[in-house]
Amino acid sequence: MAVRVKCNRCESTATIHSSSEESEFVKKLYCTCNNPKCGHSFVMDLTFSNTLSPSALDFPEGFIDKLMSSTQMEQKKIFSALSPAS
């Protein structure tokens, strides 16, 4: 999958040439605009924001197997118990 970034000077697409890991959750992306009339070189920060869906690795071993062998009603109860209170 190609990652596309936009030049903040001319809004053309830019190429990420390299990156460096600043910390566990931050990367610096070194980019160059693809528009020959612009040629802007710049650095963008890529940061982790938040989780939308937990990784299966976050569940205890065997949990997924137990979940898959549960009835739909049992699964609903499990997920409603795991959901944060509204």
Taking only the tens place, the pLDDT of each residue in 22-37 is 999 999 999 999 999 9
pTM of the model: 0.63
Residue 42: exposed, middle, or buried by beta-carbon count in 10 A (0-12, 13-18, 19+)? Answer: middle
Q: What percent of the chain has pLDDT over 90?
A: 56
Q: What is the mean pLDDT of residues 43-55?
A: 91
Q: Tell me which DSSP letter residue 19 carries.
A: E
- β-strand partners of 42: 31
Average pLDDT, the chain: 89
What is the structure's pLDDT at 83? 67
Q: Domain residues for 20?
A: 5-47
Helices (H), ranges, 8-68: 63-68
18 lies in a domain?
yes
pLDDT at 2: 66
